[in-house]
Amino acid sequence: MARVAVVSGGTRGIGAAISKALKAAGYSVAANYAGNEEAAAKFKEETQIPVYKWDVSSYKACAEGLKKVVEEVGPIDILVNNAGVTRDTMFHKMTPEQWYDVININLNSLFNMTRPVIEGMRERGFGRIVNISSINGQKGQIGQCNYTASKAGDIGFTKSLAQENASKGITVNAICPGYIATDMVKAVPAEVLEKSVLPLIPARRLGEPEEVARCVVFLVAEESGFITGSTFTINGGQYMI
């Protein structure tokens, strides 16, 4: 029986690429989404991957949504915490709403999504958790105090959870993408990308969502059990640690 994987924010952008790659690798995938009904319906029709709508910033919603996945698809052995938002502005202009929206969705969601499944993983002696952080969680970024704080928190969460669960057959790793060719990034004017973004990337191009997805597939494999607490950078050489 195929292992069950859940991907938050799994119907668009990087999340959609991850969902598709996991299905292609033989996993039973459930894709979570927040509110874009049209995109979710199109994704489901194209991929035949079941989609589930809930708000990852709500613990109750996550617990109920994940319970439904277990009932309809099966016990969850793989979790990809991908959902995220931006509310960019300079800190001295940032509102409490802009701060808490980002922290709740990008960081608190890791607790909300992981807590309901971790005990089952521990009982079964197997689990794979991958947290999608960001290059800006590693190096910081002007106008993104909220976002960078949340993404740096994702990395700290990864390292601690990895240590707590390594003896139970559970790995926890983080991926920090750089500039990836999602709809959000491609919406940036071409002139800005050419003059201000690409010169910062030694590879001289944007990354592709599928490149992030391939890393996820590698990390969740049975054979990757000795890789845990690690942070993988996928940024074309823009930031090296």
Q: Helix/strand/coil (H, E, C) string of 114-128?
A: HHHHHHHHHHHCCEE
Query: CA separation (Å) from 150 to 1, 13, 117, 179?
Result: 36, 19, 21, 18
Q: How remote is the C-alpha of 25 from its chain's centroid?
A: 18
Cα angle value 16/22/24 (rounded, 5°): 100
The radius of gyration of the chain's CA atoms, rounded to the nearest angstrom, is 17
Q: Enumerate residues 6+ apart whose C-beta is below 8 A from 61.
A: 54, 55, 112
Determine the Cα–Cα distance for residues 178 and 234; give it in Å rounded to an integer.
6
Q: Which of 33, 52, 147, 179 is catalytic?
A: 147
Determine the Cα–Cα distance for residues 20 and 14; give it in Å rounded to an integer.
10
Q: What is the phi/psi pair of residue 239, to 5°?
A: -140, 120
Determine the Cα–Cα distance for residues 139 and 238; give it in Å rounded to an integer.
10
The Cβ of residue 140 has, within 10 Å, a number of other Cβ atoms equal to 14
Q: Helix, strand, or coil here: 7? A: strand
Determine the Cα–Cα distance for residues 154 and 219; give it in Å rounded to an integer.
17
* 147 assigned to active site: yes
Q: Which amino acids are annotated catalytic? A: 147
